[in-house]
Amino acid sequence: MRFGDQALSLLVVILAVAVVGLAVWAAALQRTLSAMRRRLRAAFRGGGTGLDEVLDRILKRLEGTDERLGALSSLQQELEALLRKGTIRNVGIVRFNPFADAGGDQSFAIALLDPEGSGVVISSLHARTDTRVFAKPVQGGRSRYPLSDEEQDAIRRAMTPGERAIG
């Protein structure tokens, strides 16, 4: 065997090893590609074979989510506005004894007001023989009807932050 034949044999062996190495590498790449396709199909179920279709579907879902989020934000603002007006959030109660011959503080005045000081003050006067109940509308912390000292105190308690509501 001559030097040229040995070099040629060595070159054939090297090329054969390179071809086998490339074949193994191609098989590994094919296996990785198949695994990625399986993961993509599992992640993006519901149709669409191309990546563009999958991304378009995701974009449409995001746009729908944005619309729903905007609607929810508007609804939240409407609900907050409704809660600010017309909801009873301030309460003040005063118990008292209007008659010397009746025992205990069985009578009371209760103010039920919204944050603007509008609502109602309800008074109950308890006597030995009967109990009377009165209701008076309140606007801005005042009533167009005469208020007793206890009713005024209940309104003040309801409108004063940090004040004990019951006393």
Q: Where are the domains of the chain?
A: 1-43, 47-84, 90-159
Residue 121's pLDDT is 97
Each residue's pLDDT tens digit, 64-97: 899 999 999 999 999 888 777 778 889 999 999 8
CA distance 24 to 83: 70
Question: DSSP states of the chain as a string?
Answer: --HHHHHHHHHHHHHHHHHHHHHHHHHHHHHHHHHHHHHHHHHT-SS--SHHHHHHHHHHHHHHHHHHHHHHHHHHHHHHHHHHSS---EEEEEEE---TTS-SS-EEEEEEE-TTS-EEEEEEEE-SS-EEEEEEEEBTTB-SS---HHHHHHHHHHHSTTS-SB-
* C-alpha distances in Å from residue 14, one per residue of 1, 4, 105: 19, 15, 109
Check residue 44 and give its pLDDT: 64
CA 93 to chain centre: 33
The amino acid sitting at 70 is G
Q: What is the pLDDT of residue 129?
A: 83
All residue ranges of the chain with pLDDT < 50 are: none
